[in-house]
Chain A
Amino acid sequence: MRRILGMIGTAFMGAAHEVGGMLILTGQVLRYLVPPRLDPMETWRNLYKVGVKSFPIVVVTALLVGAIMVIQTGQMVAEFDAFGLLGWGAGFATLREVGPVMIGLMFSGRVGANNTAELGTMKVTEQVDALRALAINPITYLIVPRFVAIVSMMFLLTVIGNLTALLGGAATAQALLGVNPQLFYASIAEYLELADLMNGLVKAWFFGVAIAVVSCYFGMSTTGGAVGVGRSVNNSVVASAVSIFVIDYLLTWIMK
Chain B
Amino acid sequence: MIEVRNVTKYYGAERVLDDVSVTVREGTQTGLIGPGGAGKTLLIKIMSGLVPPDEGQVFVDGVEITGMNAIELAKVREKMGMLFQNYALFDFMTVEDNIAFPLRQEGKLDEDVIKQKVADILESVDLPGIQHQYPRELSGGMKKRVTFARAVIHDPPILFYDDPTAGLDPVTSSKIFILLEKRKVESGATSVVITHDILGVRDIIDEFVMIEKGQVLFRGSRAEIEATDQQRVRQFWLGEAD
Q: Is the interface of B mostly helix, strand, loop or mixed?
A: mixed
Residues of B within 8 A of A45 (CB): 92
Instruction: Out of B88, B92, B105, name the residue touching A130 (CB < 8 Å).
Output: B88
Instruction: Out of A127, A129, A137, name the residue touching B74 (CB < 8 Å).
Output: A137
We find that the number of chain A residues with CB closer than 8 angstroms to chain B is 14
We find that the number of chain B residues with CB closer than 8 angstroms to chain A is 27
Q: Which of B18-71 contact A (CB under 8 A)?
A: 45, 48, 50, 70-71
- CA A114 – CA B217 in complex, angstroms? 45
Q: Is A125 interfacial (CB-CB < 8 Å)?
A: yes
On whether the beta carbons of A136 and B105 are closer than 8 Å, the reply is: yes
On whether the beta carbons of B82 and A133 are closer than 8 Å, the reply is: yes
Which of A122, A127, A129, A133 is packed against the most chain B CB atoms within 10 Å? Answer: A133
- CA A130 – CA B74 in complex, angstroms? 12
On whether the beta carbons of A129 and B105 are closer than 8 Å, the reply is: no
On whether the beta carbons of A125 and B50 are closer than 8 Å, the reply is: no
Given contacts A126-B84, A127-B88, whether A133 and B50 have CB atoms under 8 Å apart is yes
Instruction: Out of B78, B86, B89, B160, name the residue touching A135 (CB < 8 Å).
Output: B78
- CA A45 – CA B92 in complex, angstroms? 10
On whether the beta carbons of A129 and B75 are closer than 8 Å, the reply is: no
Q: Is A134 interfacial (CB-CB < 8 Å)?
A: yes
Q: Is B90 interfacial (CB-CB < 8 Å)?
A: yes
- CA A139 – CA B92 in complex, angstroms? 18
- CA A137 – CA B75 in complex, angstroms? 11
On whether the beta carbons of A134 and B90 are closer than 8 Å, the reply is: no
Residues of B within 8 A of A132 (CB): 50, 73-74, 77
Q: How far is the CB of B98 from chain A (nearest CB, A)?
A: 9
Q: Is B80 interfacial (CB-CB < 8 Å)?
A: yes
Q: Which of B81-107 contact A (CB under 8 A)?
A: 81-82, 84-92, 101-102, 105
- CA A125 – CA B86 in complex, angstroms? 7
- CA A135 – CA B78 in complex, angstroms? 6
Q: How far is the CB of B194 from chain A (nearest CB, A)?
A: 14
Q: How far is the CB of B192 from chain A (nearest CB, A)?
A: 13
Given contacts A127-B91, A129-B45, A129-B50, whether A136 and B74 have CB atoms under 8 Å apart is yes
- CA A126 – CA B151 in complex, angstroms? 14
- CA A195 – CA B92 in complex, angstroms? 42
- CA A135 – CA B158 in complex, angstroms? 13
- CA A126 – CA B88 in complex, angstroms? 5
Instruction: Out of A127, A133, A137, name the residue touching B90 (CB < 8 Å).
Output: A127
Residues of B within 8 A of A126 (CB): 84-86, 88
- CA A134 – CA B77 in complex, angstroms? 6
Residues of B within 8 A of A127 (CB): 88-91
In the complex formed, the residue of B with least CB distance to A41 is B104
On whether the beta carbons of B75 and A130 are closer than 8 Å, the reply is: no
In the complex formed, the residue of B with least CB distance to A45 is B92
Residues of B within 8 A of A135 (CB): 74-75, 77-78, 80, 102, 105
- CA A129 – CA B160 in complex, angstroms? 13
Residues of A within 8 A of B48 (CB): 133
- CA A122 – CA B74 in complex, angstroms? 19
On whether the beta carbons of B77 and A133 are closer than 8 Å, the reply is: yes
Q: How far is the CB of A219 from chain B (nearest CB, A)?
A: 14
Given contacts A127-B90, A129-B84, whether A134 and B105 have CB atoms under 8 Å apart is yes
Q: Which of B112-147 contact A (CB under 8 A)?
A: none
Q: How far is the CB of B232 from chain A (nearest CB, A)?
A: 30
Given contacts A125-B88, A135-B75, A135-B77, whether A130 and B70 have CB atoms under 8 Å apart is no
12 contacts between A and B (CB under 8 A): A45-B92, A127-B88, A127-B89, A127-B90, A129-B50, A130-B90, A132-B50, A135-B80, A136-B74, A136-B105, A137-B70, A137-B74
In the complex, besides A127-B89, A127-B90, A135-B75, 5 extra interface pairs with C-beta distance below 8 angstroms are A133-B50, A133-B160, A134-B105, A135-B105, A136-B74
